Structure 1
Amino acid sequence: MPEYDFSKPQRQSGIGLILIFTTVLYHLVRNLWVIIVYFLVREVSQRTLLLATLGVIVVLFLSLLYSIAAFFKFKFHIDQENREFVLQKGVFSSDVINVPFSKIQQVNFKRNLLQRVIGVYSIVIETAGSQQKEVEIKALSQDKANELSEQLMSLKHSEEVEETSEDEIPGTNNRTPKWHFKVGVPTLLKLGLTSNYLRGVAIIITFYFTLREQFMLEDTLPIEIPNQSFVGTGSLVFILILLLIGMFITIAETVIKYYDLNLKRYSDALQVEMGLRTNTRVSLKENRVQLFEVVTNPLQQWLDLYQLKLSLASSENDLKKSQIKIPGLPPNIISEVKDFFFKTEVTEKTFLVPHKIYLLRKISRGMIPAVIGLLAAYFYQEMLSFAFIGGILSLYVVLLTVYNFFYYRRLKLSVSDEFLVKYSGIWNRRQQYIEMYRLQSISIQQPIWYKRRGLVNLTFHSAAGDIRFPVLRISEVQPLINYLLYKIESTSKEWM
């Protein structure tokens, strides 16, 4: 591998200009797609078409000039004297980003389809403690990207420890993994078939009504199926086709997003690589993962398919941000990953469950639509069949009660010497693990209507987000709170 002198300002690969230009065009199309669709569905005069063509040519020329300027303005280098990585970019205004080596969390690789075609890599430098969460260099050759990654991680490591053997340096790519697991296409197809494909249906419906409203296509895209009753055969066929299309979208989305998913376990890191449209490679160290979540549903559990959600340390107070999702894993791989991140065995000793008033509150809140429906049926009996509406609402109440009962039965908090584990969910069943020494603080909320009964809601705060647990007796959880506060204050372990 050739050596590069990153102490001098470097530019991206020359072929990366194609990537910059294509990215600019992509953002233009994304923002102006409504105008493009308008020209496709409406008849326009030749004069309008000519003016539009001239406008497109001007936009393409200006985009090319902007891309060339952005390419030459984009520079980066390693400043050994000030112990930081420096990146300069900007066309109309110059933006200089200085990332101290100690603030670098990890260096990841990304490649979309265009980057694969033109043979370049994208380097993403994740940082901590700054508004600029990520620093990205989008067009580097493979050798240059690998060497930059290794140098940055070595410099970061030298800030943390004084002596480290060569085979323990993070970021090296020539090590042999302890174990390797790959999720194949058949497994991804099973995941797509057993996932919630109503999201795909929602995408279709949203796109349909967006076209209808934006371009006033009420006649072309009617809101109802003509000459069919709601319970007619045509409507049922339409709903079935809609569900099949939604299933196809969900399967395609799953395969594209997680294609060629690989897990490699090294001595100091877990490497995750996945993606067809955007290929991402992330190296996870044990101290970066704050929350460990296992998700499955009954169908996927029957197929031995589980999804891991690893929440990383972040300044964002949201579990969905800075989260790595790894689906399609069997139980033995889940155990292997858990053993890597948790040096202590998870032994569950005590279980806390919400007070029964939580179940009554959820059922009573769900009753509000039923009450409104009954009132509407009573006052508009001429337009609505009171018996028919009453039957539907009775079924709704039964389903509501059964659903909330099983949701309540599933919700529990496990407490051991070193771990908190929250169990929740009926269809999507979740287990959220957090080591006690990683907790930042604990919040106690007590609404006025809880005070007389001595009930509280608890929120456990970590650097990767919050875990909330509702309606517990203060007399039962006070010893736990005291113990957790003691663990937070007395631990000497590095939580990040």
Structure 2
Amino acid sequence: MTEAKRYHPLTIVLKLWKLVKVSFVIAMYLFVIKFGSDSTFLIYGRIAFFVLIGVSVLVILLKWMTHKYKLDDASFHLYEGVFTKSGRTIPFAKIQNVNRHRTLFHRLFNVTSIRFETGLTGEEAAVEFEVISLVEADNMEKHATSPVPDEPATAHDGEAAAESYAEAVNPRRIVHFKPTKKDVVRASFTSLSFLVLIPLLASFYSKIDEIFPMKQEAKGLFSILKESWWIAAILLVVLIVVSVAFGIARTFVKYGKYEISSDSDRIYITKGLIDETVFSILKQRVQAVEITQSVLKRLLGLAEVKLISAGGLGDGEDELEISTLYPFLPVQRAYEMISEILPAYEVTREMKRLPAKSLWVRMLRPSWLWILSTAALFYFKPRLLGFEQTWWVLSVVLLIWIFVSRWLDYTNTRYVLKDNFIQFKTGSLTTALFVSKREKILEVKVTRSVVQKWLGLASIGTMNRAKPVRHAGIDDAPVELAESFVKWYMGRRKEIKVE
């Protein structure tokens, strides 16, 4: 592209739709619920509402007319400002990963959104196009992520582009994982998504009750359930069946079209049946890998693998999920997939445990949580079922839980230094296995308290590029490991590469 151009015209429609969604509740209150009210507050509120809507629409139109963009061989150039003009340049070299997202709106108009994440912070953290044609998104992604600019691709029609846009950037992809129906059902129970229906129904009831009071009807229903146990049993069974079906359907919509694939340079994660997200990242941009397991996942032999990247991962709840290589992978498959997708990374199951003296240090370390909680319980002295000594019982229970948690953390903690790799495993109920390469670690730290010095122990830590910066490490490790750790990191000088 040589000339700066405006964003897609449908950007106006999308922003107007978002404005309608944001103002819907206020409009319902002012013009439906309080219809016919002569309150001065409501009269001025309605006037202010129309003024704000008018100004918002005007700003949307002015932004579309004045905001422009263009690409050259090395950078994005973005031009913004309605009255005060400004411009910024984002080099392609700063791009860490690419995130595409297609909502129902995008599907209806056969378009997509694309977001180029960088390792920068603030306003320059990302380059985002909320609405863009599929063909232009493909060309833009190829142009921005390829070492050598490619010739623009063409498509015969939008339908063909819609079917192939996920493969258009690089057709030589290897598909590593697609969930089966069994995987989806197992994921629905593992994620406990069937429990979501109950709070949703409660929230729906409270909102309806605000508009149409239903307390009398609810009391009548509860009285019927008390008098007839078989009706209550039938309703309970129906609620369980509906909850399970809802959970499976919700999981299928979220993970039914999940796909993990890769080519020689990039990793691709596709998710979502209705709202589709396609996340891609250069393999060389992966800063570390993390394998997490909750108690339930450990019992079922499942694990969640996350890619740690220097770039942001999107907005909202997707920020925590989009870089995950499927949250419910069998453990063995998770280890195999890391080797397949990232051949440069090595994950070993054989790791060293902490010495016994590390357990004693952890058990005898003061717990400020217990001290402050006990002080608060002693001051307020709450009673449970009339029992006056409830406060010290709760204090003892909390202390036991702290000891159990520390013991679990000790038994789960593992470490290994192998060639140019480091692995940490930590956690009590939920465990996290952190794997990184020496060249990806920005900084290391070794600290020793007085007690640790007496016992020949130390705490070691690493810092990787991420948003926010990713810290990892273990406490109460042998001092010999700390010495080897520092020497190991000094070998980074021979491997460091400027990205």
**TM-score (structure 2 length as normaliser):** 0.73
Residues 139-158 of structure 1 mapped to structure 2, 5 A cutoff: 139-154=131-146
Alpha-carbon shift at residue 452 of structure 1 (Å): 4.5
Aligned residue identity for 2:57:
L
Range with greater deviation from structure 2 (396-405 or 128-137): 396-405
Letter in 1 for 2:88: I
1:89 to 80, 84, 87: 80
Instruction: Write out per-residue CA displacement over residues 153-191 of structure 1, whole angstroms, 9 at most, x where no aligned residue.
Output: 235679xxxxxxxxxxx9953514223422356634533
8 A Cα contact 1:456 1:472, kept in partner = yes
Among candidates 458, 462, 468, match of residue 460 of structure 2: 458
1:248 Cα offset (Å): 9.7
1:326 correspondence with 2:317: no
**Distance in 1, Cα, partners of 2:9 & 2:15:** 10
Residue 287 of structure 1 deviates from its aligned partner by 0.8
Q: Match of 1:126, SS?
A: strand
User: Cα distance 1:454–1:360, how it changes in 2: closer, same or farther (>3 A)?
Assistant: same
Q: CA deviation at 1:202?
A: 12
Q: Are the counterparts in 1 of residues 97 and 117 from structure 2 also a CA contact under 8 Å?
A: yes
* Aligned twin of 2:472: 468
* Cα distance in structure 2, aligned partners of 1:182 and 1:463: 30
Q: Which amino acid aligns with 1:191?
A: A
Q: Secondary structure at the match of 1:99?
A: strand
User: 2:105 corresponds to which residue?
Assistant: 114
Match of 1:481 among 472, 475, 485: 485
Residue 10 to residue 184, structure 1, CA distance change in 2 (3 Å): farther
Change (3 A) 1:101 1:400: closer
Instruction: Tell me if the contact between 1:258 and 1:274 (Cα under 8 Å) persists in the aligned partners.
Output: yes
Report what 1:291 is aligned to: 288
Write the letter of the residue equivalent to 1:290. Q
Residue 491 of structure 1 aligns with an amino acid whose one-letter code is E
What CA distance in whole angstroms lies between the structure 1 residues aligned with 2:455 and 2:301? Answer: 43
125-134 vs 41-50, which moves further: 41-50
Q: Distance in 2 between matches of 1:403 and 1:145?
A: 49
Gaps of 5+ in 1: 1-5, 159-169, 212-216, 221-236
Assess if the C-alpha contact under 8 Å between 1:194 and 1:300 holds in 2.
yes
Change (3 A) 1:495 1:65: same
8 Å contact from structure 1 (residues 184, 261) kept in 2: no
Matched AA of 1:430: A
Match of 2:362 in 1: 359
Partner amino acid for 1:95? Answer: S
The 3 A distance-change label for structure 1 pair 115 and 56 is farther
Change (3 A) 1:34 1:402: farther
* Higher deviation after alignment, 416-425 or 470-479: 470-479
Q: For the residues of structure 2 that align with 1:348 and 1:382, how far apart are their CA atoms? A: 47
Residue number in structure 1 paired with 2:413: 411
On the 8 A contact 1:350/1:416 being kept in 2, the answer is no
How many residues align? The count is 457
1-side partners of 2:197 and 2:456: how far apart? 45
How far does residue 192 in structure 1 lie from its aligned partner after superposition?
4.0
2:85 counterpart letter in structure 1 = S
Offset at residue 472 of structure 1 (A): 2.6
CA contact (8 A) 2:303 2:334 kept: no
Q: Which aligned pairs between 1:164-179 and structure 2 lie closer than 5 A?
A: 172-173=168-169, 175-179=171-175
Q: 8 Å contact 2:187–2:328 — kept in the other structure?
A: yes
Contact 1:293–1:432 (CA under 8 A) maintained in structure 2: yes
Q: Helix, strand or coil: the match of 2:472?
A: strand
Secondary structure of the residue aligned to 2:327 is: strand
Question: Structure 1 residues 122 and 376 mapped into 2: Cα distance closer, same or farther (>3 Å)?
Answer: same
Go from structure 1 to structure 2 and tell me whether the alpha carbon gap of 1:202 and 1:294 turns closer, same or farther (over 3 Å shift): farther
Change (3 A) 1:457 1:110: same
Deviations 1:314-338 (A, max 9, x none): 499xx96995463232332541233
Aligned partners of 1:245 and 1:456: how far apart in 2? Answer: 53
Paired amino acid for 1:326: Y
User: Counterpart of 2:11?
Assistant: 16
Q: Does 1:260 align with 2:257?
A: yes
Q: Over aligned residues, Cα RMSD in angstroms?
A: 4.8
